[in-house]
Amino acid sequence: MKLIQFEFICSRPVPFYAALCNHFLATEHLEISISGKNNRYLIEAVGKQDEIEQLAERISQSFMVSVWLLESHIREVPHREGTNLPLKNIHHQLPFCLHCQPRFGDNQSAEFGDWQLACPICHGEDQLEQGLAIELELVCQDLLEKRSSTFSYQNHTLTLSLDELPPALTANPTRSQVLICNPNTLPQHFIVPEQHVLALSSLEKPRVTVRPNPNQTTLTRALYDIVFGYDRILAIVTERLRQLGVGYVHYHAECYQPLVTWLNDGWSEVQANPNAFSITPVRAVEPLHEDGCFSHINAFWHKGRIHFNHQPVENTVSHEHIATCALLAGGIDHSDSRNSAVIYFGEAGFDEIVTEDKFTRTETFLRQQPMSTFGYDLIAQLEQADQKTILDKFKQQHPEQYQALHQLNLAGFEQKLSGIFAIAATVLGLDGQNVSELNDRLQAQAMSYPNYRGEQIDFDIDPDAEGRSIDWKKMVGSLMSYRLITEEHDIPQLAFGIYDSLADKLSNWIEHLDQQVGVKSVVLAGKGFTNEVFAWRTALRIGKNYPININRKLDLEGANISAGSLYLKVRRK
């Protein structure tokens, strides 16, 4: 008989996988051993071929794909790595699994609609409040009759709508939230890459950002955050709506599922929310500070791990140090961030490139300097610079875009890369009510470009800025020059070229820094990398010469900053 090992390698802890390992250890008649070290979950068994095949079938029917699963293997091994001791840290918040969901969530099942159905595998019924009473059939009928339905459960209120919800009821002013009811018709409504479909179906049920299918006419926004039914109530509601012919609904919730983004061939959480979802502690060496707080995420060290909780207190991290904290968070895994660089394009703090040398000295290479808030001031600066001739031609050939640029308002984004992208979107003639919407429009155009070769847009250091900063005026002049000689159908190529050109320039800057301080790895951090086209091109360009360091145990902008602040060499008051 052979010793067969079932292996699941993950980028961060998956407590439900640990619970499944314990389940198979306790219930199988075969000689089972298990392990869960370093986010690598093992089930090992000795048996006859038919016994192993039956075990493999039971494992495949139990292990839902996790968004954090990197790879899985089944192979014969010479000796055991696991033990017969149950794993610890198995607490999870999973509402259902492959064992119970087909029973209460399939309309063909006799138990359809029983959200209190007990599950011996995931115990998802324990996630529901006791005595929950709600008429889900009435919710669905109300939605079809009135085109909107609002109901409450689990101490929060949910609104479903067949129509786009007004901005005040969305997660932010520009991104609309969509709950998918019929996965089979998903391609009719949205362009969803294969890895995004797997993420939507995963046990974590995260939100992902996609663009609408250009062949449909009802979805008018540039990008949408979409999600599958993520708890027992919504699993039942979406299945009933699917029966009634509804493919998707717009929704507003008081608490949203985590948003993930595809970055460097893997998923990363955008920003953790410890007020709603527990953050798994991460192993780390003893830090310099007892705790650190950023964006209401408090990090503290205890017994070899960094723990997190929600704290309604002021940040202990200043804007000056956010990028450096992101750099330090990238090195938590291996307790060393020396000879590394961070590219931080985020929502808080300065958009920066920061390095740390072999002596742990940090230095800022690039920090984006503030632009003017109003478009007419931006135009005045272009008129006084080398771009005046191009600007005059652009005004004559594209008066509507020129007027839109004149009326542009960058309030809150003057010192952000997203502000530069908003200017670029306006030059390309893309419509948007605010900076965030303009960024979505630009990203959607780039996503629609089918090739990998875009126009080369100028991104250089501004010689007139205090310190190193991206020369937005030169970029705008370069983009206007292309716009003078291109047609409307060339806009996707130009949008793609903007991201690819900046990624290429970032790669050049990292090579320059390597010669100066020695760069062995590059950390990517900040919500700016939720733009998956820009993230893809940046990781591709830089990754050709340097390892990309993304600590997937943490998010891109939140818990990573809090954790990194524990190691910041700054004396606190």
Buried b (16+ CB within 10 A) or exposed e, 27-46: ebebebbbbbeebebbbbbe
Q: How far apart are CA 404 and CA 138, in angstroms?
A: 46
Domain boundaries, the chain: 2-76, 135-257, 261-333+552-573, 375-456+471-500
pLDDT number for residue 99: 95
Q: How far apart are CA 236 and CA 112, in angstroms?
A: 8
Question: Which burial class, exposed, middle or buried, applies to 88 when counting CB atoms under 10 A from its CB (0-12, 13-18, 19+)?
Answer: exposed
pLDDT number for residue 173: 43
CB 271 within 8 A of CB 555: yes
Buried b (16+ CB within 10 A) or exposed e, 203-230: bbbbbbbbbbeeeeeebebbbbbbbbbb
Token digits for 168? 């005040």
**pLDDT for 35-66, tens place per residue?**
999 999 999 999 999 999 999 999 999 999 99
Q: Is the dihedral of CA 499, 503, 509, 510 positive or negative?
A: positive
Q: Which stretches of the chain drop beneath a pLDDT of 50?
A: 171, 173
Q: What is the β-pairing status of strands 156-161 and 148-153?
A: antiparallel
Angle between helices 388-397 and 399-406 (to 10 degrees): 120
The total number of residues shown for the chain amounts to 573
Tell me which amino acid residue 338 is. R
Predicted TM-score of the model (pTM): 0.95
CB 94 within 8 A of CB 231: no
Q: How far apart are CA 37 and CA 18, in angstroms?
A: 10
Helix, strand, coil percent content, the chain, rounded in steps of 5 = 35, 20, 45
Query: Which of 521, 518, 465 is CA-nearest to residue 351?
Result: 465
DSSP states along 112-167: TT-TT---TTT-GGGGSPTT----HHHHHHHHHHHSEEEEEETTEEEEEESSPPPG
pLDDT number for residue 142: 94
How many other β-carbons are positioned within 10 Å of the β-carbon of residue 332? 23
**pLDDT for 135-160, tens place per residue?**
899 999 999 999 999 999 888 899 99
Domain 2-76 top-level CATH class:
alpha beta
pLDDT number for residue 335: 66
